């Protein structure tokens, strides 16, 4: 029964948290949203929204009061440029949030707790080629997570396991693989690559060049936001307590991603490579075998369709500022 169930979404002012809040309200939940900021691009649909700093223990206790389930999405994060240059800040802030939120959930007798992890937990030695073998959940060990952000995520995954084993708090852990879509950050330094390329191409004229970090040969898989939200909801209702990948399993290069955005924009775009900039691992892809087995479902939205929708939204934002070029 969802009707009347009291749920907390932390990070509800952010991209995924805002979309998740809207879905849970539509599904009949009573949603409390919490963040250090309100959603940037449209009002929250949460029945209540509180501005709290979840690095603080007292704020976590306040956030979790009279709550049945927690969707813990709050995190200090961004694209590769941000996470490569802010490791101490990210590790400190996110570790405090996750430690305090799990303990507050226990103290306030929350029944189920979802932690949003990341593909950054996977070892670098498995991602050193663009032709990467898809990463299955068990490949996280022996551990060699991405420095900073990846290690704090992996630590929090283990903490979820211990809270289940020692205190009986039901936990769910989802590992995101490059989630993108409208209502997400597209400038300012924290944006992910799909949004960055949509912004750059929307601002470029036909036959212009845009900057690409790295040599364009690095590979990734990208998952559209609607599929991400569907996967979260299905996992939270399942009996699966171990970490689970959530992403597409279609591997493409950064060059191919740029070309796909250019098609959505109906522009001819050239690339200028900067190999001095952060570019992350050489290849990363999701193995969705367990996702399919556990949830009986995999992401459905094609990358082309997701990019088309995202590009159109970002172009509209830039047009409103007078920054887009036809």
CB 103 within 8 A of CB 70: no
Q: What is the pTM of this model?
A: 0.96
From 41, 43, 40, 37, select the one nearest 25 (Cα to Cα).
Answer: 43
Q: DSSP assignment, residue 134? A: P
- Whether the CB-CB separation of 247 and 178 falls below 8 Å is answered with yes
Report the sign of the C-alpha dihedral through residues 238, 52, 175, 96, in that order: negative
Q: Measure the CA–CA gap between 144 and 135, rounded to whole angstroms.
A: 13
Residue 141 catalytic? no
How far apart, in whole angstroms, are the C-alpha atoms of residue 140 and residue 142? 6
b/e 200-239 (16+ beta carbons within 10 angstroms → b)? bbbbbeeeeebebbbbbebbbbbbbbbbbbbbbbbbbeee
Position 325 confidence tier, pLDDT thresholds 50, 70, 90 = confident
- Domains of the chain are 6-179+222-246 (3.40.50.720), 185-221+251-281+302-321 (3.90.25.10)
Predicted confidence at residue 324, as pLDDT, reads: 85
What's the rounded mean pLDDT across residues 91-103?
98
Residues 220-239: pLDDT tens digits? 999 999 999 999 999 999 99
Residues 230, 202 contacting (CB under 8 angstroms): no
pLDDT at res. 2: 60
**Looking at 149, 163, 186, 222, which residue is catalytic?**
149
pLDDT digits (tens, 9 = 90+) for 28-49: 999 999 999 999 999 999 999 9
The tens digit of pLDDT for each residue in 160-195 reads 999 999 999 999 999 999 999 999 999 998 999 999
End-to-end alpha carbon distance in the chain: 49
pLDDT at position 326 over 80: no
pLDDT number for residue 3: 61
Given this model, what pLDDT does residue 58 score? 98
Query: How far apart (Å, rounded) are the C-alpha atoms in residues 315 and 170?
Result: 42
Q: In the predicted model, what is the mean pLDDT of the chain?
A: 97
Average pLDDT over residues 71-77: 97
Note whether 249 and 96 are within 8 A (CB): no
DSSP-based three-state secondary structure for 234? helix
């Amino acid at each position: 029964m969802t009707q009347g169930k009291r749920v907390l979404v932390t990070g509800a002012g952010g991209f995924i948290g805002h979309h998740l809040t809207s879905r849970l309200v539509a599904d009949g939940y009573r949603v409390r949203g919490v963040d250090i900021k309100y959603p940037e691009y449209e009002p929250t649909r949460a029945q209540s929204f509180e501005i709290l700093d979840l690095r603080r223990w007292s704020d976590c206790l306040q956030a979790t009061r009279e709550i049945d389930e927690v969707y813990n999405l709050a995190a200090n994060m961004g694209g590769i440029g941000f996470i490569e240059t802010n490791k101490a800040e990210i590790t400190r802030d996110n570790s405090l949030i996750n430690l305090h939120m799990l303990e507050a959930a226990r103290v306030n007798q929350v029944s189920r707790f979802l932690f949003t992890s990341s593909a950054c937990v996977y070892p670098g030695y498995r991602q050193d080629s663009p032709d990467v073998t898809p990463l299955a959940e068990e490949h996280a060990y022996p551990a060699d997570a991405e420095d900073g952000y990846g290690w704090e995520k992996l630590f929090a995954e283990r903490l979820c396991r211990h809270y289940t084993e020692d205190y009986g708090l039901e936990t769910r852990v989802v590992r995101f693989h490059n989630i993108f879509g409208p209502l997400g950050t597209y400038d300012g330094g924290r944006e992910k690559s799909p949004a960055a390329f949509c912004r750059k191409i929307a601002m470029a004229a036909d036959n212009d060049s845009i900057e690409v970090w790295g040599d364009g040969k690095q590979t990734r898989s990208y998952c559209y936001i609607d599929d991400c939200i569907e996967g979260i909801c299905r996992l939270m209702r399942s009996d699966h307590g171990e970490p689970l990948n959530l992403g597409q399993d279609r591997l493409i290069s950064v060059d191919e991603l740029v070309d796909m955005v250019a098609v959505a924009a109906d522009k001819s775009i050239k690339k200028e490579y900067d190999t001095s900039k952060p570019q992350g691992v050489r290849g990363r892809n999701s193995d969705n075998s367990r996702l399919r087995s556990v949830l009986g479902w995999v992401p459905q939205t094609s990358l082309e369709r997701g990019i088309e929708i995202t590009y159109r939204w970002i172009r509209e934002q830039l047009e409103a500022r007078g920054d887009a070029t036809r």
